[in-house]
Amino acid sequence: MTDTPRSGPAPDRAKQLFILAILALAVPALWADEAFWFQPAHPHWDHIRPFLAVLTLHIVGGVVALFVGAFQFSHRLRRARPDIHRLMGKTYLAATALGGPSALYIQILNAEGAFQWAAYAHSVTWMLATAMAFWCVRLRDFDNHRLWMMRSYAMCLLFITLRAPDALPGFHLDDAGNTALEFGQIFVALLGVEVVETVRRNRKLAAKRAGQQ
């Protein structure tokens, strides 16, 4: 990523608030969807037992990616401790390499109907965006590296947002609803990255032109 000076801590603060808001959804969403982990007699154990080891790998990879990925967008950390930034980047890459293929494996075993294609699209987009970010940073193309990391982490955050409806009492989506939700969130997340980046560039361009007047 670039080391171009930026004005104040506002960009970091906005990103921190956004990520905190998403992560705040994790408590009710994950509890509604994953509470069975604390209930040994829950019938869902019978469903996941055949692929429990792979599911555990997926969860570990996803949780690590969610945690370290949040720090990758800190300008302050990147400037002050580039060594930690690089270490966390490598950790995120390894977590994606663990969480992405394991998710795809589980989906091949279990996903059915139209929903399987939404699930495949999510996992493949996450892995592809991370691979592109890694390729760009290897070529020292830091602007495109940052963009691909934004796309990758957006896919990572869907791990939480896709489960948010499960926290609503009495709310249940069928296969068609889950398919629309996942495809819709993939579209919104990727479009959101492009909107944020366009606004950032246009504001920078407008400030540059204002300074020339």
Give pLDDT tens digits for 115-124: 889 999 999 9
Range in 17-26, 44-53, 142-151 with the lowest mean pLDDT:
17-26
Residue 37: predicted pLDDT = 76
Q: Is pLDDT above 50 for 32?
A: yes
Q: Give the closest residue to 77 by CA, choosing from 178, 184, 3.
A: 3
Q: Is pLDDT above 80 for 106?
A: yes
Q: pLDDT grade, residue 7 (50/70/90)?
A: very low
Domain locations in the chain as residue ranges: 10-212
Distance CA 6, CA 203 (A): 12
18 HSE (CA, 13 A, CB side): 17
Range in 19-33, 50-64, 123-137, 152-166 with the lowest mean pLDDT:
19-33
Which tokens is 14 given? 């906005």
Alpha helices in the chain (DSSP H): 10-24, 26-34, 44-48, 52-71, 75-80, 82-110, 115-138, 142-161, 175-212
Sign of the dihedral defined by the CA atoms of residues 177, 181, 182, 183, in that order: positive
Q: Is pLDDT above 50 for 166?
A: yes
Give pLDDT tens digits for 194-211: 998 999 889 888 888 887
Q: Is pLDDT above 80 for 149?
A: yes
Q: Is pLDDT above 80 for 29?
A: no
Q: 9: which DSSP letter?
A: S
Q: Give pTM, 2 decimals.
A: 0.82
